[in-house]
Amino acid sequence: MCHAGLTDPNAPAVLHIEVEVDVPGGKMPATLYLPNTGKGPGISLLTDMYGPIPFYRAVASRLAAEGYVVLLSDYFFRQGRLPAETREEGFSRHSRSDEVTAIDDHAAAVSWLQRRPEVVQDRVGLLGFCLGGTIALNLCAAGANAVAVCYYAFPFSFGNPCRRKAPRPIDIASEISAPVLSHWGDADYIPLSEIEAFGAAMRKFGHPYTERVYSGAGHGFLAGLVERSGDSSAAHESWELTQAFFSRHLGGSR
């Protein structure tokens, strides 16, 4: 599922530092990735249920090389490390988590990022994957000063049970007024009917929303950036659109 077990040997080498973000009731470990200029617009990277695995560290490095200050947080820190990067262990850990708390933690992370001296403007980017994409939509609905790119988010909720579920994006579409770009594949297990219903709701309220659905692409198709597969075309096309979206709304070196 998603990007467990993937590494990216071509990820650029960038400066990164381990940090802690003050969140309600604790400190969330995170890594801050810096562009070679030392300053730039901020992006918070929200992972899938596996947390900050090597694939996401590579994505953060790619963005930093494009001129962004990227925060990669471990929002499952309360549940501890995964014994193994397997679907079963990932679902088991998620079942002990609280998605509403995860939203609060990421809101704190966005505020922390906005206050960093390396970040040059208040508006930041959110880049969310799978469950992280769903949380990014929740943050936009909660009024975060942000723009969002979501890969394979769940418009009708992440299916695995947990202690407390996040609001369903389809139910709060009227409140998601920030610019959003969403990527899905039509071979995903997320039903096309849910994707279409969410898009219709966003357009109904006149929000700046764009969706791309890639033919033949499955869940986790951005893996095609680092491995040759049938999803490689969708991966590269979507990544170009993602970079253009952030460049248009945030700036960066592009």
Which residues participate in catalysis according to the annotation?
Answer: 130, 188, 219
DSSP 202: H
First to last CA, the chain: 31
Burial 144-158 (b: 16+ CB within 10 A, else e): bebbbbbbbbbbbbb
